[in-house]
Amino acid sequence: MDFNKQVIEEFRANGGRVGGPFEGGRLLLLTTTGARSGAPHTTPLGYLPDGVGRVLVIASAGGSPRHPAWFHNLVANPRVTVESGVFAYEADAVVLEGDERDRAFGRAAEADPGWAAYEEKSGRTLPVVALVQVAAGPPAGPESPGAMLVAVHDAFRRELELIRKEVAASGAAVGAQLRVNCLTMCQGLGHHHMGEDQQLFPVLERHHPELGPVLAELRDEHETISALLEELRRVLDGGDPDSLRTEVDRLTAALGAHLDREEDRLLPLLDALDRR
């Protein structure tokens, strides 16, 4: 089986988790429209967080002297589809230029010198492309509300574990990309909890008034985690890796316990609601 096809099938079957060379990394599926054929082409790519609703991909082609086909496709047809393992959504592909491109590539190469090695090997300036979400898409995997909640939670668990590893390897300074990774995670988690507070919990409360005390407890935990996120942002501004490590560990413990408790209390009720 073609290597990319194997990775794509594994990605879709396991909510974005794959083994092999991509194991433990940030991976997405990018579907472009063929510049000549007009046919859809899907490619697994590593990516860098760049704020909520925006990720960066680098057209390295493993250090090849030529740009990869997917890059030519999105230059010709910038509207693309991105699969995160949890959601699939439409995005606009924006090729970064000038200082913006150089800053983004510099962050990437600081975090992983392999990018600079690819650029040197290729003999070309590696394009950096921002994939900017333009429309929310449907779930990419689980169909039941309970399974969807677990998939979202697992995505946060994986991202926080990646950040913990990056912090541990950061040395004497907090790198620019690590800072972006942390801030993006903070922003995404804040949005997730806001959605639960304003949409999910009221629906559950209407159908299950007896859940009031449980939901109040979960809302209180959201407030606790929000305070931890604020402290994490404050520590990032200070740039001290040891303090950052401490705050990431505190957040990991609090969030892990919260997600487990939320799943334990809510999953059976969510799936029962879906069957009504």
Structural domain for 55, as ranges = 3-135
Shared-domain flag, residues 87 and 178 = no
- The residue from 117, 135, 153 where one domain ends is 135
The residues that bridge with 2 in the sheet, in sequence order, are none
What's the pLDDT tens digit per position in 28-42?
999 999 999 999 999
Same domain, 255 and 186: yes
The number of folded domains in the chain is: 2
pLDDT beyond 60 at 110:
yes
Angle at the Cα of 192 from the Cα atoms of 191 and 195, rounded to 5 degrees: 85
Torsion angles phi and psi, residue 138, rounded to 5 = -75, 165
Q: Mean of the per-residue pLDDT values for the chain?
A: 93
pLDDT tens profile 62-75: 999 999 999 999 99
For residues 44 and 8, the answer to whether their CB atoms sit within 8 Å is yes
| CA gap 59, 44 in Å, rounded | 12
User: Which pLDDT does position 135 carry in this prediction?
Assistant: 73
97: in domain: yes
- Write down the pLDDT at residue 199: 94
Structural contact between residues 237 and 244, judged by C-beta atoms closer than 8 angstroms? no
When pLDDT is averaged across residues 197-210 and rounded to a whole number, the result is 94
Query: If you ran DSSP here, which 8-state letter would residue 127 be given?
Result: P
Type of residue numbered 99: D
Residue 47 lies in a domain: yes
pLDDT band at 144 (very low <50, low <70, confident <90, very high): confident
Q: Tell me, yes or no, whether 34 lies in a domain.
A: yes
Pairing type for strands 48-49 and 40-46 reads: unpaired
Model pTM?
Answer: 0.92
Residue owning tokens 């991202």:
159
Task: Look at residues 117, 88, 92 and name the one whose alpha carbon lies nearest to residue 29.
Answer: 88
Cβ proximity of 233 and 186 under 8 Å: yes
